[in-house]
Structure 1
Amino acid sequence: MHVTHLSLADFRSYAGAEVELDPGVSSFIGPNGQGKTNLVEAIGYLATLSSHRVSSDTPLVRMGAERAVIRAAVTEGEREQLVELELNPGRANRARLNRSTQVRPRDLLGVVRTVLFAPEDLHLVKGDPGERRRFLDDLVTARAPRLAGVRADYERVLKQRNTLLKSAAMARRHGGRGVDLSTLDVWDQHLARSGAELLARRLALVAALRPLADKAYERLAPGGGPVGLEYRGSAERANEEAAGAGSDVTASRDELYEVLLAALATARAQEIERGVTLVGPHRDDLVLRLGELPAKGYASHGEAWSLSLALRLASYDLLKEEGPEPVLVLDDVFAELDARRRERLAELVAGGEQVLVTAAVEQDVPGVLSGTRFAVAEGRVTRE
Structure 2
Amino acid sequence: MNVESIRLINFRNYNSLNINLNKRINIFIGKNAQGKTNLLESIYMCATGRSFRTNRDKEIINFNKNEAYIGAMINIDNYEKFIEIKMERDKNKRIRVNKTELKNYKELYSGLNVVIFSPEDLKLVKGGPQERRSFLDMGISQIKPVYKYNINRYSKILFQRNNLLKSNKSKSEIFSLLDIFDVQMAKIGTDIIIERAKFIEGLSDICKNIHNITTLNNEDLTLEYISNVQLLKNKTNMEKEYLNKLKMNFSKDLEIGTTEIGPHRDDIIMYINNRDVKTYGSQGQQRTVVLSIKLSEVELIKKERGVYPVLLLDDVFSELDEERRKYLTRSFNEMQTIITATDVIDLEELQNVERSIFYIEEGKLII
So what's the TM-score if we normalise by structure 1?
Answer: 0.89
SS at 1:357's partner residue?
strand
For 1:184-263, what aligned pairs fall within 5 Å after superposition?
A: 184-235=178-229, 237-238=230-231, 241=232, 251-263=233-245
Render the CA deviation track for 1:224-247: whole Å, top value 9, x for unaligned: 321111111123x34xx4xxxxxx
Tell me the distance in 2 between the aligned counterparts of 1:306 and 1:288.
Answer: 12
Report how far residue 105 of structure 1 moved.
2.5
Gaps of 5+ in 2: none
Tell me the distance in 1 between the aligned counterparts of 2:172 and 2:366.
Answer: 62
Tell me the distance in 1 between the aligned counterparts of 2:268 and 2:140.
Answer: 14
Render the CA deviation track for 1:25-69: whole Å, top value 9, x for unaligned: 000000000000000111011212232222332221211333322
Equivalent residue, structure 2, for 1:174:
none
Equivalent residue, structure 1, for 2:265:
283
CA contact (8 A) 1:196 1:254 kept: no
Q: Which runs of at least 4 in structure 1 moved beyond 3 Å after TM superposition?
A: 88-91, 177-180
Equivalent residue, structure 2, for 1:330:
313
For 1:365-376, what aligned pairs fall within 5 Å after superposition?
A: 366-370=347-351, 371-376=355-360
Report how far residue 211 of structure 1 moved.
1.0
Tell me the distance in 1 between the aligned counterparts of 2:172 and 2:93.
Answer: 36
State the one-letter code of the partner of 2:277.
A
Equivalent residue, structure 1, for 2:69:
69
Tell me the distance in 1 between the aligned counterparts of 2:316 and 2:124.
Answer: 15
Render the CA deviation track for 1:244-293: whole Å, top value 9, x for unaligned: xxxxxxx4543332232111111110000000110110101011111111
CA RMSD of aligned residues (A): 1.9
Report how far residue 179 of structure 1 moved.
8.4
Equivalent residue, structure 2, for 1:57:
57
Once the two structures are aligned, what percentage of the paired residues are identical?
31
Render the CA deviation track for 1:183-213: whole Å, top value 9, x for unaligned: 1111111211221111111011111111101
CA contact (8 A) 2:57 2:93 kept: no
Tell me the distance in 2 between the aligned counterparts of 1:255 and 1:357.
Answer: 47
1:265 paired with 2:259, answer: no
Residue number among 331, 339, 342 corresponding to 2:322 in the alignment: 339
CA contact (8 A) 2:46 2:110 kept: no
Residue number among 306, 316, 333 corresponding to 1:351 in the alignment: 333
Equivalent residue, structure 1, for 2:302:
320
CA contact (8 A) 1:200 1:256 kept: no
Tell me the distance in 2 between the aligned counterparts of 1:5 and 1:210.
Answer: 34
Instruction: Summarize the Cα distance change of 1:367–1:33 in structure 2 as closer, same or farther, 3 Å threshold.
Output: farther
Equivalent residue, structure 2, for 1:245:
none
Report how far residue 375 of structure 1 moved.
0.2
Equivalent residue, structure 1, for 2:31:
31
State the one-letter code of the partner of 1:44.
Y
Instruction: Summarize the Cα distance change of 1:49–1:255 in structure 2 as closer, same or farther, 3 Å threshold.
Output: farther
Equivalent residue, structure 2, for 1:246:
none
Render the CA deviation track for 1:101-154: whole Å, top value 9, x for unaligned: 256433432421101111111111111111111111111101111222111101
Equivalent residue, structure 1, for 2:274:
292
State the one-letter code of the partner of 1:360.
T
CA contact (8 A) 1:47 1:113 kept: yes
User: Bigger shift: 352-361 or 252-261?
Assistant: 252-261
State the one-letter code of the partner of 2:365.
V
Tell me the distance in 1 between the aligned counterparts of 2:149 and 2:89.
Answer: 21
Equivalent residue, structure 2, for 1:158:
158
CA contact (8 A) 2:76 2:112 kept: no
Report how far residue 88 of structure 1 moved.
4.0
CA contact (8 A) 1:121 1:309 kept: no
Report the number of matched residues. Answer: 362
Tell me the distance in 1 between the aligned counterparts of 2:89 and 2:263.
Answer: 28
Instruction: Summarize the Cα distance change of 1:103–1:112 in structure 2 as closer, same or farther, 3 Å threshold.
Output: farther
Render the CA deviation track for 1:340-378: whole Å, top value 9, x for unaligned: 22222222x321320000001114x53423521000001
Tell me the distance in 2 between the aligned counterparts of 1:89 and 1:151.
Answer: 27
CA contact (8 A) 1:46 1:109 kept: no
Report how far residue 14 of structure 1 moved.
1.2
Report how far residue 83 of structure 1 moved.
0.8
State the one-letter code of the partner of 2:210.
A
Tell me the distance in 1 between the aligned counterparts of 2:118 and 2:238.
Answer: 34
CA contact (8 A) 2:133 2:266 kept: yes
User: Bigger shift: 67-76 or 328-337?
Assistant: 67-76
Equivalent residue, structure 2, for 1:92:
92
SS at 1:112's partner residue?
coil
Tell me the distance in 2 between the aligned counterparts of 1:229 and 1:286.
Answer: 7
Tell me the distance in 2 between the aligned counterparts of 1:256 and 1:14.
Answer: 50
CA contact (8 A) 1:24 1:354 kept: yes
SS at 1:206's partner residue?
helix
CA contact (8 A) 2:102 2:108 kept: no
1:306 paired with 2:300, answer: no
State the one-letter code of the partner of 2:240.
E
Instruction: Summarize the Cα distance change of 1:299–1:253 in structure 2 as closer, same or farther, 3 Å threshold.
Output: same
Gaps of 5+ in 1: 172-176, 242-250
Instruction: Summarize the Cα distance change of 1:107–1:382 in structure 2 as closer, same or farther, 3 Å threshold.
Output: farther
For 1:9-20, what aligned pairs fall within 5 Å after superposition?
A: 9-20=9-20
SS at 1:362's partner residue?
coil
Tell me the distance in 2 between the aligned counterparts of 1:112 and 1:208.
Answer: 21
State the one-letter code of the partner of 2:134.
R
